[in-house]
Amino acid sequence: MVHNDHVNLIKKAIDHPGGIWADFGSGDGAFTLALRDLAGPDVQIYSVDRDQRRMQTQKETFEEMFPGTDIQFFHEDFTNPLKLPQLDGILMANSLHYVEEQVPFLRFIREYLKPSGKLVLVEYNADSGNIWVPYPLSFNKFQKIAQKAGFSQCRQIAAIPSEFLREIYSAEVVKK
């Protein structure tokens, strides 16, 4: 995938500029960069990943593509408590499939969100995993667990074919 693919997967969820967002499991920053592209220069971003090397790559790419962006890099495990302000949104692109207990985790991160804050998810549309995607969740499964975790207004916003596990989808839910 290239930058435009990342943008197209999440653009329907980033419906206004600015705001305070976190990207959990941001890796090299492909979707963090797409978030910045869509939310514009007034967005405040908290990028969270436990891989220091990938975070460094992300920092360098941000300086190249979007210098001066209000972004803070957290070299942390996103499943642990983080010191974050109340967020307008959380982006999780290909990271929730690493969390075994997804409903309690979604309840946990829901508390980071402001009232009516949203979670934007990008995942493989599959329920059977492998060593690289241990706990995948199809859109149908995500709908069910998001509701159990206290989210509403679940909608799929995009999908693209994937050579790996058939399809990648994006979805958004809103904090009740």
What tens digit of pLDDT does each residue of 30-83 get? 999 999 999 999 999 999 999 999 999 999 999 999 999 999 999 999 999 999
Q: Where are the alpha helices (DSSP H) in 71-169?
A: 102-110, 139-148
Give the pLDDT band of residue 93 (cuts 50, 70, 90).
very high
Q: Indicate the DSSP class of residue 26.
A: -
Structure confidence at residue 129 (pLDDT): 84
Structure confidence at residue 112 (pLDDT): 98
Q: Where are the alpha helices (DSSP H) in the chain?
A: 3-10, 30-39, 52-65, 102-110, 139-148
Check whether 101 has a pLDDT greater than 90: yes
Q: With 0.85 as the threshold, say if the pTM is over it.
A: yes
State phi, psi for 165 to the nearest 5 degrees: 65, 35
| Contact in structure between 32 and 8 (CB atoms under 8 Å) | no
Structure confidence at residue 106 (pLDDT): 98
Length of the chain: 176
Structure confidence at residue 12 (pLDDT): 97
Structure confidence at residue 111 (pLDDT): 97
Mean predicted confidence (pLDDT) in 104-122: 98
Please enumerate in sequence order all residues whose Cβ is within 8 A of that of 170, keeping only pairs 6 or more positions apart, or say none.
Answer: 9, 10, 12, 13, 120, 121, 122, 156, 157, 158, 159
Residue 42 CA to residue 97 CA, distance in Å, equals 30
Structure confidence at residue 70 (pLDDT): 97
Check whether 109 has a pLDDT greater than 90: yes
Check whether 164 has a pLDDT greater than 90: no
| Contact in structure between 46 and 109 (CB atoms under 8 Å) | no
Check whether 165 has a pLDDT greater than 90: no
Walk me through the domains of the chain, giving residue ranges and CATH numbers.
3-175 (3.40.50.150)
Check whether 176 has a pLDDT greater than 90: no
Please enumerate in sequence order all residues whose Cβ is within 8 A of that of 63, keeping only pairs 6 or more positions apart, or say none.
Answer: none
State phi, psi for 64 to the nearest 5 degrees: -75, -50
